[in-house]
Structure 1
Amino acid sequence: MAEQGQCMLKHTVRRSHQLSAKSIAKDLQTSCGLQISTTRVCRELHGMSFQD
């Protein structure tokens, strides 16, 4: 994932910690046109030390 996508992902998660991976993926697709799967969202968050 590109650095800009990771920044958007961090911003989305910090805004609301209760979002599901599915809703995060949908939010990223809507807000910045980033195509990302829910599995990828989980992997990226885990790699950034966010826990499920």
Structure 2
Amino acid sequence: MGRSQELSEFKHGTVIGCHLCNKSIRDISWLLNIPRSTVSGIITKWKKLGTKATQPPSEWDQRVLKY
């Protein structure tokens, strides 16, 4: 079974918005038709990084973007 496509920014924002409105992970998953593990991962990353970004830019990326 192959991997599905990445979720849009809108769906990520919708997951975070539902979470901020005190919806449970199960409810969010059901409302948006997204697996619970995906919803949980989005919320965890948002809490950890404060953004939907998957990882902060590395030092190498910052040096390359500088020039």
| TM-score bracket, shorter-length normalisation | 0.5 to 0.7
Structure 2 unaligned regions, length at least 5: 1-6, 49-67
Match 2:21 to one of 15, 30, 37: 15
Task: Give the superposition deviation at 1:42.
Answer: 0.6
List structure 1 runs of 4+ shifted beyond 2 angstroms.
Answer: none
Task: Give the superposition deviation at 1:23.
Answer: 1.1
- Higher RCO by CA contacts (8 Å cutoff, separation 6 or greater): 1
How many pairs align? 42
Identity %: 14
Task: Give the superposition deviation at 1:20.
Answer: 2.6
Q: Which has the higher helix share?
A: 1
- State the superposition RMSD in angstroms: 1.6
State the distance in 2 between where 1:49 and 1:15 align.
15
State the distance in 2 between where 1:27 and 1:7 align.
14
